[in-house]
Chain A
């Protein structure tokens, strides 16, 4: 069985603040893939990043960064200097190498106020 928990259902910050979205996962597989998706108010789902279980290197892309720690089964997402356009629901997801199911967390709604 696999499970993804996003404990923060809603976060509100003021523009330019840094914010971290937490993601904790459970899986028995040694090979798996982790994803983050963004769902802006318009409703579409936008892929942000994929990380496989053998690559614990943190990644930075502009104002976005991801911290993958296998020891704590976490794959946290940080937005630096948040902007109003970052307001969205963010989903963390897990895919085992065997099997065909992509399991999503419940999502975190981020509101960035001007």
Chain B
């Protein structure tokens, strides 16, 4: 049982490049979400999904896209990276939206 798996662990992008952060969970959780962590600001919700085919925006969605074609996977896409997107990204999942989140180990992204 791997839990929530995020890849890659580290990534460096140049401004304007695109990339996809991968997230997969093997717990059959319906609820999945992406957060970014910046110093002093805690974690802020980017996008979330309450089930396959259903996604919605969180607090800071600009510059990011998501899709949920399966229950297991919830990739986060940066279409044109900007230095303001330098952050640590966490994917999380839970059985329901009021139960505790299970977090992946994070992806540290640097945009130069």
Q: Identify which of B19-27, B64-72, B74-82, B95-103 touches chain A.
A: B95-103
0/1 string, A58-100, CB within 8 A of B gives 1: 0000000000000000000000000000000001010101001
Interface centre among A45, A50, A107 (most CB of B within 10 A): A45
Query: What is the number of residues of chain A that contact chain B, defined by CB distance less than 8 Å?
Result: 22
Looking at chain B, what size class is its interface with the partner chain? 20 to 34
Number of A-B contacts defined by CB within 8 Å: 53
Q: Is B50 a contact of A44 with CB atoms below 8 Å? A: no
Q: How far is the CA of A6 from the CA of B44 in the complex (A)?
A: 15
Asked whether, in the complex, the Cβ of B103 is within 8 Å of the Cβ of A44, the reply is yes
Query: Scoring B residues 26 to 55 as 1 if CB is less than 8 Å from chain A, else 0, what string do you get?
Result: 000001010100001111110010100000
Q: Are A101 and B45 in contact (CB under 8 A)?
A: yes
Q: How far is the CA of A90 from the CA of B76 in the complex (A)?
A: 26
Given A44-B105, A45-B103, A100-B56, verify A95-B44 contact (CB < 8 Å): no
Q: Tell me if A97 and B42 are in contact (CB < 8 A).
A: no
Whose C-beta in chain A lies nearest to the C-beta of B31?
Answer: A100
In the complex, A104 has a CB within 8 A of chain B: yes
